[in-house]
Amino acid sequence: MTAETAPELEQHKWYEDVQALVLGTLLLSFGVTLYSTATLITGGLAGTSLLIEFATPLTFGVVFFVLNLPFYILSVMRMGWGFTIRTFIAIALISVQTRLIPLWVDFSVLDPIFASIAGAAMMGVGLVMLLRHRAGIGGITILSQFLQDKGVIRAGIFQLIVDLAILVVALFMLPLKLVALSIVGAFVLNLTVAINHKPGRYRGMS
């Protein structure tokens, strides 16, 4: 198909963005709740927030919301106001939903193996929904891209260093089995995003 005959990319309607924000953050929040209940961790600021929740009386939602605050300036600089506003809404929704879901659902039995796989898959699908509607969930990704733009360090290497640091800290806080299951979950989450969010495959634009 030539450039002259290629159809124009269709932009998302506002209600499509709203649906993606609500459902995407709900899936993410449910996945995080599974991880919190099973004492598992994930990468980025979400993983950092879980570790702080495990070590202090603070809840995930409060920590996650506060930790993301400094990164909005970088988000505006690099991604623009539209992305930043949608990301702020997504993070706010996750912060609230992760607080409410345990009040709505009681896990009397939760196998950590199931939690690591199902929770990661939910977070992966939720993240894909947000990415397709130009929203994000974490400041580490924004910071890594900013540092790469400045020539400080490659984004992928920086994110890997952060995630490895979280795992090292987790080794001193959690049983080895739970850290190993968290690594399995990280693989499932990233594989879910990689398979379902390939550039050029999805034609919707926001």
The 3-state secondary structure of 126-188 reads HHHHHHHCCCCCCHHHHHHHHHHHCCCCCHHHHHHHHHHHHHHHHHCCCCHHHHHHHHHHHHH
- Cα separation, 23 vs 28, in Å, equals 9
Cβ-in-10-Å burial (0-12, 13-18, 19+) of 140 comes to buried
Residue from 106, 153, 127, 139 nearest 29 by CA: 127
Q: Token pair for residue 126?
A: 């939720």
Tokens of 64: 């996650």
> CA 102 from chain center: how many Å?
19
Q: Give the closest residue to 32 by CA, choosing from 201, 196, 206, 185.
A: 185
> What integer pLDDT is reported at residue 191 of this predicted model?
87
Q: How many CB atoms lie within 10 A of CB 132?
A: 19
d(CA 116, CA 5): 45
Q: What is the pLDDT of residues 87-143, one digit of tens each?
A: 899 999 999 999 999 999 988 899 999 999 999 999 999 988 888 888 788 778 778
Residue matched to tokens 């993240």: 127
What is the per-residue pLDDT across 136-163, written as a single tens digit (0 to 9) for each?
Answer: 887 787 788 778 777 888 866 888 888 8
Cα 191 from chain centre: 14
- Position 198 scores a pLDDT of 63
For the chain, what is the total number of helices (H) and then of strands (E)?
8, 0
**7, 11, 15, 18: CA torsion to nearest 10:** 130
Q: Is 64 left (phi over 0), alpha (psi -120 to 50) or beta?
A: alpha
pLDDT tens per residue across span 179-206: 999 999 998 988 888 888 665 655 554 4
